[in-house]
Each structure stands twice: as structure tokens, then as C-alpha cells.
């Protein structure tokens, strides 16, 4: 069920070859994607980078289109909990070594039973990011075989990075935080902040 990583012959073929960066500017890459994917929109931000908003069902084709055009360094995958609008926002960060520009691909998924298609087939780097988001936010990624326990051990509460998890109350319940009055110091120093 969890994929094995010990097939040495397979890895030798993947490893061969020199990397040749491709120089396609971000606006042109975004236009190509807009042609192929209906429902996507792009805008230029005030810091000069390009940001795309795509529907969540077409994320696989958007990613392969960008990878084909030289945006093949998968930098990070961020999940933002927009509790007021009742949705999760997933932000994919891509970088092109040839064009030296950064592209944001944003998409929204509903907060109730969240799941989005995994991009592991296109970008292998995303496997650990999706694993962490599944643990911390509870978003499912069908297609990723490696959604196993990552950082938390024996965790029974709700996914901790969500905005409705109150970590201060959890700490007060679980750990004993004491008010200290060390012996040896005069009481007027330890009570009432030294007044």
C-alpha cells in the first residue's frame, strides 16, 4: 500500500541526464495555461509576479502545463484556513530556473470534507507537503500513496493548524502550568510583581 523505494534499477534511469533550464516569461506561460484550462484567471501583482486562480478540479492539468514550460521547481505548497469564508485556500508556489520568476497558483476547496487531487505524478517534491497538510489541516489528497503519520505521534485531537483549535486552552488542560513562589525570596518580591 505504501510504495517501496528500493528498486535500484529504476532509480538509475531516472537519475541520468543533465538539467537544461528553459526561459519562458511568466506572462506567456500564464497565457498558455489560460488557453488550455477554462475557468482560470490570472493577474499581475504589484511586486511584479504573476498569480493565477484556477478551479480545484483542473489543478493537475495546470501543473503539468507549467512543468512543460520550464516551471519545474516546486517550491512549496501552503494551505490557508479561511474560516470566515468557510473554505481552504491552497497556494502552489512554482519557480523557473531559466526565467527566474516565481508563480503563485491559488485554488479554493470547501472546508467541509476537504479533498483535492494530488500532484505527485507531476511533481514528486509535493509528496511531503501533502503529507504534512493532511496531518495538520485534514485535507485529503487522493492519488498520494504516502499519507502516513508525519510529525505528531498519538495525536487524538482535531487537526491542530485549523483556526478553531484553541491551543492555549489545550495547553491549560493538558499541562500543569504552575504559579511559582520560590522559597528563599521575600514574599513581597514574589507576589504582585514586586510592588
Partner 1 sequence: MMDDFKVTEIIFGPQHPGIHGNFGTRLELRGDLVYRARMVPGYLHRAFEKLMEQRTWMQNVAIVPRICVPDPDVNEMAYSMAVENIMGLEVPDRANYIRTIILELSRISAHLMGLGGIGGAIGLYTLPMWTNGDRDYILDLFEELTGGRVYHIFIWPGGVRWDIPDNWPRKVNKVLDHIEARLPEYYSLFFESKVTDARLKGLARFDSRWAVDHGVTGPNLRATGLEVDIRRMEPYAAYEDIDFKVITRKEGDGLARTLVRWYEVRESIRIIRQAVEDMPSGEIRAKTPPPLAFMVPPGDHFARVESSKGEYGYYVVSKGGKFPYRVHVRGPSFTHGIDVLEQILPGNEISDVALITGTLDVCPPDIDR
Partner 2 sequence: MSDDEPKGGLLDQNGIPITNLPKRGFVRRVADWASAKSMWLLWYCTGCGAVELPPSFTSRYDMERYGIGPMATPRQADIFLITGYLSVKTLKRVVRSYEQMQDPKYVLGHGSCTIDGGMYWDSYATIKDVGLYIPVDIYIAGCMPRPEAIFHAFEKLQSMIKAGEANGWRRYKENYQYYRKNQDKVFKRGPDWALEEPVLK
Does position 174 interact with partner 2 (CB under 8 A)? The reply is yes
Q: Sheet of 101-110: strands edge to edge?
A: 41-44, 50-53, 101-110, 87-96, 73-82
Report the interface residues with partner 1, using CB under 8 A.
4-6, 8, 11, 14-19, 21, 47, 72-76, 78, 80-81, 91, 93, 97, 100, 102, 104, 123-125, 127-129, 150-153, 160-161, 167-168
* Per-residue exposure over 166-194, b if at least 16 CB sit within 10 Å of its own CB, e if not: eeeeeeeeeeeeeeeeeeeeeeeeeeeee
Quote the distance between the C-alpha of residue 94 and its chain's center. Answer: 12
Of 68 and 73, nearer to partner 1 (C-beta) is 73
Q: From CA 75, how far away is CA 93, in angstroms rounded?
A: 5
19 binds partner 2 (CB under 8 A): no
176-195: which residues touch partner 2 (CB under 8 A)? 176-178, 180, 182
Stretch of residues binding partner 2 (CB under 8 A), selected from 16-24, 97-105, 118-126, 128-136: 128-136
Read out DSSP for 48-83?
S-EEEE--GGGHHHHHHHHHHTT--EEEEEEEEEET
Minimum CB distance to partner 1 smaller for 75 or for 190: 75
Q: Which stretch binds partner 2 (CB under 8 A): 42-50, 83-91, 117-125, 167-175?
A: 167-175
| 15 touches partner 2 by CB under 8 A | no
Answer yes or no whether residue 81 interacts with partner 2 by CB under 8 A: no
Q: Does 134 bind partner 2 (CB under 8 A)?
A: yes
Amino acid at each position: 500500500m505504501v510504495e517501496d523505494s528500493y528498486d535500484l534499477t529504476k532509480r538509475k534511469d531516472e537519475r541520468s541526464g543533465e538539467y537544461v533550464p528553459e526561459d519562458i516569461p511568466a506572462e506567456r506561460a500564464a497565457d498558455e495555461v489560460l488557453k488550455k484550462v477554462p475557468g482560470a484567471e490570472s493577474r499581475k501583482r504589484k511586486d511584479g509576479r504573476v498569480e493565477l486562480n484556477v478551479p480545484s478540479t483542473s489543478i493537475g492539468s495546470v501543473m503539468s502545463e507549467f512543468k512543460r514550460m520550464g516551471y519545474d521547481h516546486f517550491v512549496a505548497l501552503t494551505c490557508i484556513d479561511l474560516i470566515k469564508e468557510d473554505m481552504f485556500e491552497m497556494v502552489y508556489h512554482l519557480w523557473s530556473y531559466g526565467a527566474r520568476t516565481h508563480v503563485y497558483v491559488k485554488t479554493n476547496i470547501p472546508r467541509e470534507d476537504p479533498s483535492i487531487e494530488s500532484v505527485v505524478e507531476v511533481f514528486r517534491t509535493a509528496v511531503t507537503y501533502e503529507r504534512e497538510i493532511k496531518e495538520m489541516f485534514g485535507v485529503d489528497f487522493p492519488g498520494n500513496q504516502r499519507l502516513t503519520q508525519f510529525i505528531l505521534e498519538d495525536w487524538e485531537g482535531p487537526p491542530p493548524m485549523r483556526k478553531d483549535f484553541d491551543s492555549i486552552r489545550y495547553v491549560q488542560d493538558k499541562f500543569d502550568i504552575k504559579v511559582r513562589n520560590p522559597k528563599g525570596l521575600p514574599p513581597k518580591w514574589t507576589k504582585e510583581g514586586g510592588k
